[in-house]
Structure 1
Amino acid sequence: MLNIADALHHWCREERPFALATVVDVIGSAPLPVGTSVAVDEDGNVIGSISGGCVEGEVYELCRRILAERGTPLRARFGYSDDDAFAVGLTCGGELDVFVQRVDPVSQSHLTTTLSAAVRGRPTAVAQVVDGPDRLRGATLSLLEDGWTADDVLGRHATGLAMADRASARLRTGRTGLASLGGETDTCPEQLSVLIHVAATRPRMLIFGAVDFATALSQAGHFLGYRVTVCDARPAFTTAGRFPHAAEVVVDWPHRYLARTPVDARTAVCVLTHDAKFDIPLLSLALTLPIGYVGAMGSRRTHHERLRLLREAAVNEAELSRLRSPIGLDLGARTSEETAISITAEIIAHTNRATGLPLSLRSGPIHEPTAHALSDG
């Protein structure tokens, strides 16, 4: 859906109903990824593509039928045809599972707001029920940074909360994909398959200190979906070859680099240098910025000395309370790889406002809702 956000926003502003066909699953080789959409309005105008041309005609006819009959949403699978090279199918040999539904911008007005945000480059997500009870199939929920709104059928009840929570998790990673909701360990009361469309840049992990721990941490951060930057003022240690999983390796003073690079509430800053001449200017700045996580490596003795120096640098107590130091969860980590897991585990727990405790010591739902609903106004 969000791959054609600009044109869809125009249609929504005109309150023009349309049929939306979206790739919800890919098996084998296929031209375009999950979440790619094509839309058809009541005049037969088409925007987007889902297969590079090989199944477009059949999908177009399905969209026209849904619009004409105001029918219930449907799923169709398209695969390679061995018998007839001109039959509907994918010549690349893969299979596409396509979900087709009618969208009414009047009754689903939240989509207009969300598409507007996507066009303006704001992080946003749309959750779309593609499998589940008939009354919910095709229902949509929109998520922005400040909350969520949804179709009336989802309301503010457990199903909407569970969808918003899962959409929030996807938005943090910046990845479009399917999510299964419902079951004994889920707060969603109904079994659903939900496609979550995401328009967001990957969150950033800024690692300061080109030390051995940084190699493992950059790999772990990359695995979690972060766009990783390693920065250090020492050129001999700060080389791309030492950090193959980093998107960017920068030779600069840490505080100077941080002052000129974009950050937001999804950014994680990991300070591994435990050297006051680097740490104090860097942390004095980082703790004043809208950064989601700020952690610093070092012993408890180093930590207490660091706090003393930060207070001397006029960092106030509210800002100091944001500092995670010594960095990481208590996993008994010894190696660089174990330390990377300790750090990333704390980042995950902090991001999700979780306790970090063993699940065996807790009661209640394993996954607690974290997304907040927007007011109806």
Structure 2
Amino acid sequence: MLDIADELHRWCADGRPFAVATVAATGGSAPRQPGAALAVDGEGTAVGSVSGGCVEGAVYELCREVLAGDAPGTLLERFGYSDDDAFAVGLSCGGEIDVLVQRIDPAARPELAGALAAAAFREPAAVARIAAGPARLLGRALLVRRQGRPEGSLGDPLLDRTGAGEARAMLAAGRTGPVRIGADGGRCGVPVTLLVESSVPPPRMLVFGAIDFAAALARVGTFLGYRVTVCDARPVFATGRRFPEADEVVVDWPHRYLGAEARAGRIDPRTVVCVLTHDPRFDVPLLERALRLPVAYVGAMGSRRTHVQRLDRLREAGLAASDLARLRSPIGLDLGARTPEETALSIAAEIVAARGGGTGLPLTGAATPIHHDPPPASPRAGVPAV
């Protein structure tokens, strides 16, 4: 639902009731992940998508029925694929999705309107909705922010306490997905599935080295939804004019800037660090700090010979084998890239694979899944900033 928050927030501001269908759980090769949503207002206007086209028509009609009162105000529908009836509504990819369909009257559901407002204004917040469980609880919602008391209720004080804790944990990791707990707020008893959707600021891409490859990478990073920072200690090269696609250009020693950002709490497990300096004066002290931080990706440009020499220097600096194993160097996937734009694509592809749990191998002829579950959070989560 929060993936289409900009439009839904406008509907809420107009006091316009609407129905929203949200992917609550997936199985197999599902086309979209939990949190993807399709919403329909009273005039039949639709925004968003739950399947990329496979079941949009059926979900649209469910939304119309819920909005008109011809169906319960909240319901859960499962869509899959059956070889016995290949022409039935379903997913041609062979996957399976559970879709939570819910009527939302903004004035009556302030916790959901608040969640949409937070997402629209890029404020950190998470909303937990009961997507499966006792019928009396289905669709109940709880909104949590980084500070302050939760808003709304899941229907029981103990369930509220557990749900708020789970939502805050998902918010801290910037994740969206289902969480299974008990209806009594514990881990036993009648099962309840919470769909937790997180609204967080864009992840950061820190690009060190004000070179032409950095300019191309800044363009690709912006396209992928990152907030891009280019940092270099040389003011003649680190200028906004040379990097118009970057959100900010910083003149500072790379290791000093990274350390300051970490101490200020502006580095999180979604941050990616791309070191393009390939100069030991810059990249060794920078990588020494980056590899000790709970970030999603650390990559460094350079030849294989440079990489071996760099590893020796990092060992001398005290980094353990587990730290060095996190370093992607030479940076990027083997695409045969030569130009800055091709190299940026190579780096971006490796970042997407690393964050999404992909192999980086061609899908043609492979037995690997098309869609992957994201890998667990960095094992260094919670490590003090340096």
TM-score by length of 2: 0.55
For residues 312 and 371 of structure 1, the distance between their equivalents in structure 2, rounded to whole angstroms, comes to 30
Q: Does 1:50 align with 2:11?
A: yes
Partner of 1:215: 215
Partner of 1:33: 6
Tell me, what secondary structure is at the counterpart of 1:326? coil
> How many pairs were matched up?
250
Residues 79 and 51 of structure 1, relative CA distance in 2, 3 Å threshold: farther
Tell me, what secondary structure is at the counterpart of 2:336? coil
Partner of 2:17: 59
Letter in 2 for 1:298: G
Match of 1:299 among 298, 303, 327: 303
Partner of 1:344: 348
Partner of 2:247: 247
Question: Structure 2 unaligned runs (5+)?
Answer: 20-37, 45-63, 68-101, 107-111, 142-162, 184-191, 377-386
Equivalent pair of 1:267/1:292 in contact (CA under 8 Å): yes
Equivalent pair of 1:101/1:138 in contact (CA under 8 Å): no
1:290-326 deviation per Cα after TM superposition (whole angstroms, max 9, x unaligned):
1110000000011011111111111111111110000
Counterparts of 1:147-162 in structure 2 under 5 Å? 148-149=178-179
Equivalent pair of 1:232/1:252 in contact (CA under 8 Å): yes
Counterparts of 1:1-377 in structure 2 under 5 Å? 33-36=6-9, 50=11, 52-53=13-14, 56=15, 59=17, 77-78=41-42, 100-101=103-104, 124=126, 144=170, 145=173, 148-149=178-179, 198-261=198-261, 262-363=266-367, 365-370=369-374
- The two structures, once aligned, show a CA RMSD in angstroms of 4.3
Equivalent pair of 2:297/2:354 in contact (CA under 8 Å): yes
1:233-279 deviation per Cα after TM superposition (whole angstroms, max 9, x unaligned):
00000000111111110000000000011211100000000000001
**How many Å apart are 1:50 and its aligned residue?**
2.5
TM-score by length of 1: 0.56
For residues 275 and 295 of structure 1, the distance between their equivalents in structure 2, rounded to whole angstroms, comes to 14
Residues 307 and 360 of structure 1, relative CA distance in 2, 3 Å threshold: same
Question: Structure 1 unaligned runs (5+)?
Answer: 3-23, 26-31, 37-48, 63-73, 81-96, 104-110, 154-159, 168-196, 373-377
Letter in 2 for 1:257: Y
For residues 249 and 269 of structure 2, the distance between their equivalents in structure 1, rounded to whole angstroms, comes to 22
1:10-39 deviation per Cα after TM superposition (whole angstroms, max 9, x unaligned):
xxxxxxxxxxxxxx97xxxxxx82342xxx
**How many Å apart are 1:149 and its aligned residue?**
1.6
Indicate the larger mover: 251-260 or 144-153: 144-153
Tell me, what secondary structure is at the counterpart of 1:351? helix
Identity %: 49
**How many Å apart are 1:78 and its aligned residue?**
4.3
Residues 76 and 259 of structure 1, relative CA distance in 2, 3 Å threshold: closer
Residues 354 and 371 of structure 1, relative CA distance in 2, 3 Å threshold: closer
